[in-house]
Structure 1
Amino acid sequence: MSFIKITEQPSLYDDLENKSVDELLTDINREDQKVALAVEKAIPQIEKLVSQIIPRMQQGGRIFYMGAGTSGRLGVLDASEIPPTFGMPNTLVIGLIAGGDKALRNPVEKAEDDMEAGWKELQAYDINEKDTVIGIAASGTTPYVIGALREARKHGILTASISSNPDSPLSQEADIAIEIIVGPEFVTGSSRMKSGTGQKMVLNMITTSTMIKLGRVKGNRMVNMQLSNAKLVDRGTRMIMDELGLDYEQAQRLLLLHGSVKKAVDAYKADR
């Protein structure tokens, strides 16, 4: 039986150019509401993945995202948000996109069609069995991603896939296949829409839950966030005020002295 791409099936809506702006927005929103439900169905697979990532990262392992186009950009985006949010080095969650950083802003022709490029890029990072490679491709057919997962798996590295088509070629290459079946896109084939939204949700779930279990969150707060702007310094100051019962000036002085909420609180308590 031939592989059918749900992501390429005709939209449930037609004559889009004749719809009012209100109708367009309402219909897009109606479709978007299906995404969270599709992600919910994949929670068992996401849990399986996160449960295997945590012990690997505790031993110094890393997460590598591999993708092309929208999928690649979302992987790079999630990876780039880990250092400021959780105070982790930028070497622990790494996003690789077909065509390199240039492809973040401009399409690079045929880059995603190179079956060998992804694995070559991973080798440059001295990838090993403590690491995890997560391939992202709405279609589930992107050669750049498939090739990377195939080789990684051959080398005993944990692999996972995130796609929007069931039983795709990409799923066949992954130890853990996460399939977010969101249905046809509002604009036929435009997987930057529901598929992209679903991918972003899953990536948030993977890294956020992993970072929490690695001790980068206390209670419900980002106690290891980087103090990279005034807003974050203010947020950290208020966290310390709540935790230690200090006034604003005392809390801010302590925060700036130690560089993070966690270090500031630990140091203050150690002196008592």
Structure 2
Amino acid sequence: MPPTPPTPVPPSTERPDTRHPELDRYASEALVHAFVDDQFEAVRAVQAAAPALARAVEAALPRIQAGGRLLYVGAGTSGRLGLLDSVELYPTFSWPPERAKALLAGGPPALYRAVEGAEDDADMGARDLHSLKPTPQDVVLCIAASGATPYVMGALHAAKAIGSLTLGFANNEGAPVAEQADVGVTLNTGPEVISGSTRLKAGTAQKIALNTFSSSLMVKLHKVYGNLMVDVKATNAKLRRRSVALTVTATGRSEAEATAAVDAADGSVKCAILMLRHGLDAHSAAQALARVDGSLRKALGE
């Protein structure tokens, strides 16, 4: 009689959390504490992955400086988090939307509800990536809590064949998406309070990791002066007020002077700061920034 094959060991994100076998019996306060306290594991997982995130930033920087794009790929929660990170780069850093694209298994309808079978289609992942016409300068962020989602793996293999830089984000050790990417980022968050619900701390860890990666990259690209987000795009009244406040902070000038400078610079905080600090007009300030790849610190001679 042939031996019985071993039972496959589920990934850690799919295993029941042994700390909470009676979760459905908890009083409300204990229930809330169970969810909130477990989120600290997400922070610890990203802290452990910090060296890998730093490698990802260093590997991505020259490609992006050469004109490459950030292309995010994911399914379900992972895909929605990738999309969120991509769209927030424009208002925060004036990063061109055409240089931050996100692919979600199942397309736009999957933003609101699961599209049956979409995440299991590796060929679709490859096709969707090819639709963006990737180049070797592009950076492809492949995000999967399990680390083996076929849609994401299909996009990963297609990106590697083209020569794009691939970054693999997973929440399980030894996951294919992290091991086969050029730089793997493993966010080992372990079992969820609700077994398998990776929208919980696994999703939180992904959000932190993606924020950390993209924000670090933007700092390296001179989108920040000190710790001021001086490339903010004032797309609403709140961000317009922030633009003026940033200019006041960086120059020590009055709100009225800062407002006038921001208006004259067509909303550019960098130009407004340079105008007030060096007595330049808006055109001259823009030219000075262009000569130093947008580095306000260099334009100020610091």
The TM-score bracket by the shorter chain reads over 0.9
The CA RMSD measured in Å over matched residues stands at 1.5
Give the counterpart letter for 1:234 in structure 2. R
Q: 1:126 aligns with which of 118, 133, 146?
A: 133
Give distance in 1, aligned partners of 2:248 and 2:166: 43
Question: Is the contact between residue 231 and residue 268 of structure 2 (CA under 8 Å) also seen in structure 1?
Answer: yes
Partner of 2:42: 35
Higher radius of gyration, 1 or 2: 2
Partner Cα separation in structure 2 for residue 270 and residue 44 of structure 1: 42
> Which residue, 44, 55, 59 being the options, matches 2:51?
44
Q: Which runs of 5+ in 2 are unaligned?
A: 1-5, 282-302
Following TM superposition, by how much is the alpha carbon of 1:140 offset from its aligned partner in structure 2, in angstroms?
A: 1.1
Q: How does 1:218-233 map to 2 (within 5 A)?
A: 218-233=225-240
What secondary structure, in the 3-state scheme, does the structure 1 residue paired with 2:122 have? Answer: coil
> Which 10-residue stretch deviates more, 77-86 or 25-34?
25-34
Which residue is equivalent to 2:273? 265
Once the 2 structures are TM-superposed, how far is the Cα of residue 125 of structure 1 from its aligned partner? 1.9
Q: Percent identity?
A: 38
- Structure-1-length-normalised TM-score: 0.95
**Corresponding residue of 1:69:** 76
What amino acid is the match of 1:133? V
Aligned to 1:80: 87
Amino acid of the structure 2 residue aligned with 1:224? D
1:7 paired residue number: 13
Q: Which structure exhibits the higher relative contact order, with contacts defined as CA atoms closer than 8 Å and separated by 6 or more residues?
A: 1
Alpha-carbon distance, 1:244 to partner? 2.5
Q: Which runs of 4+ in 1 moved over 4 A?
A: none
Q: How many residues align?
A: 272
Is the 8 Å Cα contact of residues 146 and 173 (structure 1) preserved in structure 2?
A: no
Whole-Å Cα distance in 2 between the matches of residues 145 and 3 of structure 1?
22
* 1:189-200 equivalences in 2 (<5 Å): 189-200=196-207
CA deviations 1:103-152 (Å, max 9, x no partner) are: 11111111111111122222222211011111101011210000110121
Contact 2:129 2:158 in 1 (8 A): no
TM-score (norm 2): 0.86
More off after superposition, 156-165 vs 117-126: 117-126
SS of equivalent residue, structure 1 residue 171? helix
Indicate conservation of the 8 Å contact 2:14/2:196, yes or no.
yes
Whether contact under 8 Å (1:240, 1:265) holds in the other structure is yes
